[in-house]
Amino acid sequence: MIIIDCEKMKYPNTGLFFFCDMFVKAVIEENHGGQRLGFYVPGKYKGRWGENFYYKKKNLLDKLLIISPKKCKLWHTTFQLAHYVPRNGKVLLTVHDLNFLYEKTEHKQKKYIAKMQKLVDRAERIVAISEFTKNDLIRHIDVGNKHVDVIYNGCNIYRGEIRHPDSLPAKDFIFSVATVLPKKNFHVLPCLLKENDLELVIAGNKSDYVNVILEEARKYGVEERVKIVGPIDESVKHWYLKNCKAFVFPSIAEGFGLPVLEAMAYGKPVFLSRHTCLPEIGGDYAYYFNMDFDRELMQVEFKRGLEDYYDDVSRKAEEIKEYANRFSWENTARLYLRIYEEMVR
């Protein structure tokens, strides 16, 4: 049996939640009964993907000692700083990012590097979700002679209900979604509302960083057009993605950036940071802000990008959709299943 660690689903509305959920669904679909699968989950998710699978519920004592079930041939740890890694059996480790290098103090960086080194030492094989993450990993962690594969995440093609928010934007709007933390760099965005009539909508779990964004908005006199709406349901998120004028994502600490592909799947113009993995994911089908986030230059870049996109919107939208569809969870699952098979032989 292969057990996939989905413990991070305890945090809804996060990238790790959606990674686990979409990944497991695709693995089940592509497995065709080839491998017996099990899942390590918070208690409320027992049975989420069907009753015919083994579910190991998270227990508070697991931090002290977690033992793989006797029939478990492979434990897939899906987070690079996981608390719960079995003391026995084979381990595959997925590394999403080393964001702590860009957002933590030097003392905390050393602490996280030491913890991550233990996980890398424990794993027999490693997967990074982007070339950027792989390079960060090799630069800062001793991987020895272990092979590091790069497997991109898939694009979440949403098939569910799309429901408009309780409070509709009053004007055309630009949109972003992520946990509202400094590493997401949202405070550089209010300048984009200068000399136009657009609104900025940011969705995601809030923090004190909201105050920094609103202070920046006040500098430009646009605070009434900046809406930080908090966490939203998937159905509402996809209404915003489908109806926005553009998607903006200026993050400076990112391992992949799933919302970028979600926006591109609707054919939307996306404006991204040139930092971390985002140029790798957006490719030639995204627009980019300058490295230093010079506000006046950002305004020019945003205006030119919108003009370029909307001058030939039908063609551009189709090209962007086609590009996003190259990132499929089915392909992601097939590549992981191949590694599973190699590791359990």
The full set of domain ranges for the chain reads 2-154+328-344, 173-324
- pLDDT surpassing 70 at residue 192: yes
> How is residue 295 written in tokens?
């506000």
* Higher-confidence position of 278 and 257: 278
pLDDT digits (tens, 9 = 90+) for 161-186: 999 998 999 999 999 999 999 999 99
pLDDT band at 286 (very low <50, low <70, confident <90, very high): very high
Examine the pLDDT at 131 and tell me if it is beyond 80.
Answer: yes
pLDDT at position 157: 82
Q: What is the DSSP string of 153-221?
A: PPP----S-----SS--SS-EEEEES---GGG-GGGSGGGGTTS--EEEEES---THHHHHHHHHHHTT
User: Over the stretch 12-59, which tens digit does the pLDDT of each residue have?
Assistant: 878 899 899 999 999 999 999 799 999 999 999 999 999 989 999 988
Report how far residue 276's alpha carbon sits from residue 184's, in angstroms, rounded to the nearest whole number: 12
Euclidean distance between the first and final Cα of the chain, in Å?
12
Q: What is the DSSP annotation of 231-292?
A: ---HHHHHHHHHH-SEEEE--SS-S--HHHHHHHTTT--EEE-SSTTHHHHHGGGSEE--TT
Please give the residue that has the higher pLDDT: either 68 or 257.
257
Query: Percent of the chain at pLDDT above 70?
Result: 99
Reply yes or no on whether the pLDDT at 146 is more than 70.
yes
Mean pLDDT of 275-285: 95
Which tokens go with 65?
């000692």
Reported pTM: 0.86
Q: Do domains 2-154+328-344 and 173-324 have the same CATH topology?
A: yes
Which pLDDT does position 63 carry in this prediction?
67
pLDDT at 317 over 70: yes
Report the C-alpha gap between 332 and 261 in whole angstroms: 14
Q: Report the pLDDT value the prediction gives residue 255, as an integer from 0 to 100.
A: 83
The CATH number, out of the four listed (1.10.10.10, 3.40.50.150, 3.30.70.360, 3.40.50.2000), of the domain defined by the range 2-154+328-344: 3.40.50.2000
Q: Residue 107 above 80 pLDDT?
A: yes
Report the CATH number of the 173-324 domain: 3.40.50.2000
Q: 4-8, 98-102, 114-118: which range is least confident on average?
A: 98-102
Half-sphere CA count of 194, side-chain side, radius 13 A:
19
Q: What is the mean pLDDT of residues 61-88?
A: 83
pLDDT at 342 over 90: yes
Confidence band, pLDDT 50/70/90 cuts, at residue 85: confident
